[in-house]
Structure 1
Amino acid sequence: MATVSDDRIVTALARFASAGALAGQTEFERAFTAVVASSGPREDACWRAFYRNSVAELRGGQAAFSPVHRRARSLLVGRSILEVGCCFGLLALQCAQDGYAVTACDICPGALHLLDDAANTLGLPIITRRGDARALPLATDSVDTVTLIHLLEHLDGPDVAVALREALRVARRRVVVAVPFEERPSAHFGHRQQLTDDDLRAWSTDLTGCTATIFTDHGGWLVLDHR
């Protein structure tokens, strides 16, 4: 339990997936939760250790995903943040530690329940909302920045445009998008698309009323600012 963390488990299970021992997203996620829950005598304590260790590794730069979260946090504007597709909410927790007013949204109620408990344990005032990226349960212009960090590769092509329009609707100032650049989509992570700079440029040309900035840093980034 002293070492259980997102980075350690993902790294280990990805090796099993590459070797064919885990097939697809469902098996990967079941194995992930089983590892966390069995890392100590009490499941609730295991998850709290998972969150404590994972956030510390991400903030300290030890996790493979640290550069992505660091860059995402550097791009936030204003004081209120919505993380769409938050999953366990590890980025949301870091943003709350930085003093932002954070709302975290995900389609999975189990992940939000875990995040609620982690935020309460860490004393961080995060609001969680169950919802779909294609129909966000927030009012227009209700937060300063909306983030979609490693989310859009989970969607089919037509749904990406819908999710981006929804993010722009909710954001007063900025939308921050990050996607992985992979040789082939990682099925165990539930990725549906192999993405490149060309995709980011194509997405941005279909959007009106905003300016787009595209760059590469541990994957691709698309930053949309309202005019």
Structure 2
Amino acid sequence: MTLAAPIDPLAGAPGAYRDDLVEVVRTRHVPIGAIRTDSFAFWTDHDRVHLAHDLPAERIDNDLAGLVAAELFAPGWLEGSELFERLMTGLVVSAADDPLSAWTLFYRNTMDRLAQLTSLRPGAATEPHHGALVEGSLAGYAPVYRHAAGLIEPGSVLELGSCFGFFSLFAADRFAMTASDLSANTVRLLGRVAPLLGRRIETVICDAARVPRPDTSYDTVVALHLLEHLPAEHGAAVVTEMQRLARRRVVVAVPFEDEPTAAYGHVRVFTARTLIEIAIASGWSWTVHEHHGGWLVLDRP
């Protein structure tokens, strides 16, 4: 079986994205027989999924993840985290005439929305945005980012598993941020877009369990909604690496779920007890608490 080439977020034609597994186009014209949802139409042809949409520019932000999950994956039409990521990439890239402009639109809309949400007082109601609140939406992440920033003291911060780098961009005006992720293309994209948004961050391409930096390189090391994507042994290695790199503090956030959310690539669930067991094994001073999920804070003795 031939493996699909890695996702290239900067590949695409005007209004379209195509790779080994998916084709996404911005159009109102779809073939007879396509399956229609509120926002999309899709069909399959051999081994490729075709997705059509006509989303306006203001809807191109990270809430697309919740939209795709709710309309295409939750009903069982499609499955698999790789397909989910490729369709998300296609929706963004197809939203403009060139990929970099599309990603800049996506990032700018996302960061503007996060700024709006995090400026609200904690617990305040938010207006509907792209439909009902779902896990993974910006309204869901905003209190996580706000809370994480409140746990960090001034200084240098390394974010592990940063993915698109939203938290690093969000916190860049308060801390010296470094964003890291295993996906080379995603990290390079973040490095291209950050200056266009007026944010200054460093980037590192690496496995979160093997960061090419000396011991105690950063004042604080954070992993926000990363460990649920990793098997237990890999996750334990990440926490050990965080302790090696942190001069003062380690901050871990995880969702509390009954079952792993497969569309987002989750492979394990956490409880407060799970976090306490990790804390005890660390040998550091620790606290565990709940705030829109679970939190583990380790402080170097």
Aligned to 2:92: 36
Question: More relative contact order in 1 or in 2 (CA 8 Å, sep 6+)?
Answer: 1
Aligned to 1:86: 162
**Which consecutive unaligned segments of at least 5 residues does structure 2 have?**
1-56, 118-125, 127-137
Q: Which amino acid aligns with 2:87?
A: A
What is the distance in 2 between the residues matched to 1:139 and 1:21? Answer: 46
Secondary structure of the residue aligned to 1:21 is: coil
**Which protein shows a greater Rg?**
2
Judge conservation of contact 2:182–2:205 (CA < 8 Å) in 1: yes
Shift of 1:2: 3.0
Indicate which of 9, 12, 16 corresponds to 2:67: 12
CA deviations over 1:52-105 (Å, ceiling 9, x no partner): 111111121162211111111111113111000000000000111x23111111
What is the distance in 1 between the residues matched to 2:300 and 2:202? Answer: 24
What is the distance in 2 between the residues matched to 1:176 and 1:67? Answer: 15
What is the distance in 1 between the residues matched to 2:105 and 2:152? Answer: 28
Q: Which amino acid aligns with 2:66?
A: T
Judge conservation of contact 1:77–1:173 (CA < 8 Å) in 2: no
Q: Which amino acid aligns with 1:126?
A: I
CA deviations over 1:121-176 (Å, ceiling 9, x no partner): 12222111011111112111111110100000111111222110100110101011
Shift of 1:21: 2.1
More helix by share: 1
Q: Which amino acid aligns with 1:211?
A: S
Shift of 1:182: 0.9
Q: Which amino acid aligns with 2:67?
A: A
Aligned residues: CA RMSD: 1.1
Number of residues of Structure 1 aligned to a counterpart in Structure 2: 224
Aligned to 1:202: 277
Aligned to 2:285: 211
Q: Which amino acid aligns with 1:213?
A: T
Aligned to 2:212: 137
What is the distance in 2 between the residues matched to 1:59 and 1:222? Answer: 25
Structure 1 stretches of 4+ moved >4 Å: none
What is the distance in 2 between the residues matched to 1:99 and 1:202? Answer: 32
Quick check: 144-153 or 130-139, which moved more?
130-139
Aligned to 1:55: 111
Indicate which of 49, 53, 70 corresponds to 2:146: 70
TM-score (norm 2): 0.72
Shift of 1:186: 0.7
**Aligned 1:87-106 pairs, distance under 5 A:** 87-96=163-172, 98-106=173-181
Q: What percent identity do the matched residue pairs reach?
A: 39
CA deviations over 1:169-213 (Å, ceiling 9, x no partner): 1010101100001111011111110111111011111111x2111
**Aligned 1:116-195 pairs, distance under 5 A:** 116-195=191-270
Aligned to 2:300: 226
Indicate which of 113, 118, 141 corresponds to 2:188: 113
What is the distance in 2 between the residues matched to 1:20 and 1:139? Answer: 45
**Which consecutive unaligned segments of at least 5 residues does structure 1 have?**
none
Secondary structure of the residue aligned to 1:57 is: helix
What is the distance in 2 between the residues matched to 1:149 and 1:91? Answer: 9
What is the distance in 1 between the residues matched to 2:272 and 2:174? Answer: 32
